[in-house]
Homo-oligomer: A and B are copies of this chain.
Amino acid sequence: MARGFCHRHGNERPCSCSMGNIYRYVEPVTLYLLKLKGRAYGYELGNYLREHALTDSEVDRAALYRTLRQLETNGFVTSEWDIGGGGPARRLYALTQAGVDHLAEWLVVLRQMAGAMNRFVDDADKLIVSDTKDLQTAATVENE
């Protein structure tokens, strides 16, 4: 999906097959930020990325630049050089309609993943908590 295609589910539906790892969720956050800001260049996005990241991990600028080029190759964003305003030339990116659609697909997947994670955590928590209770009971018994 990160490359526009999952070879297991094809295009039948958005899936999280190759989404667990590809660029550590840089892609959806980048799409989101572009949607939010209208247009932006990579270096700038790199600064906002951190606060919207889905994990604790630092986002490698190299990964961001590569993701942007990849997104462009796939037709999800367009770019043009911006020479003007002082400093080195910057590449201005903007979302395409396909990009918006792709973001929407990511949202389906991420919502589903978040749901699965929450259910998992709840289930696992119960298991562990019941354990703690046992220990407390044991301790109480021991103290009598």
How many residues of chain A get a CB closer than 8 Å to chain B's CBs? Answer: 44
Q: A-side binding surface: helix, strand, loop or mixed?
A: helix
Chain B residue nearest to A100 (CB atoms) is B128
The reply on A118 being an interface residue by CB < 8 A is yes
The reply on A45 being an interface residue by CB < 8 A is no
Question: Nearest chain B CB to A113's CB is how many angstroms away?
Answer: 6
Chain B residue nearest to A9 (CB atoms) is B56
Q: Whole-angstrom distance between the alpha carbons of A24 and B25 in the complex? A: 13
Task: Pick the interface stretch among A28-36, A66-74, A80-88, A136-144.
Answer: A28-36
Q: Which residues of B contact A125 (CB under 8 A)?
A: 107
Q: Which residues of B contact A62 (CB under 8 A)?
A: none
Q: Which residues of B contact A52 (CB under 8 A)?
A: 120
Question: Nearest chain B CB to A74's CB is how many angstroms away?
Answer: 19
The reply on A134 being an interface residue by CB < 8 A is no
A-B contact pairs, 15 of them (CB 8 A): A17-B55, A17-B57, A20-B20, A20-B54, A20-B55, A21-B21, A35-B124, A52-B120, A54-B120, A107-B121, A107-B124, A107-B128, A111-B117, A113-B117, A117-B117
| Chain A interface (Cβ < 8 Å from any Cβ of B) | 8-9, 15-21, 24-25, 28-29, 32, 35-36, 52-58, 100, 103-104, 107, 110-118, 120-121, 123-125, 127-128, 131
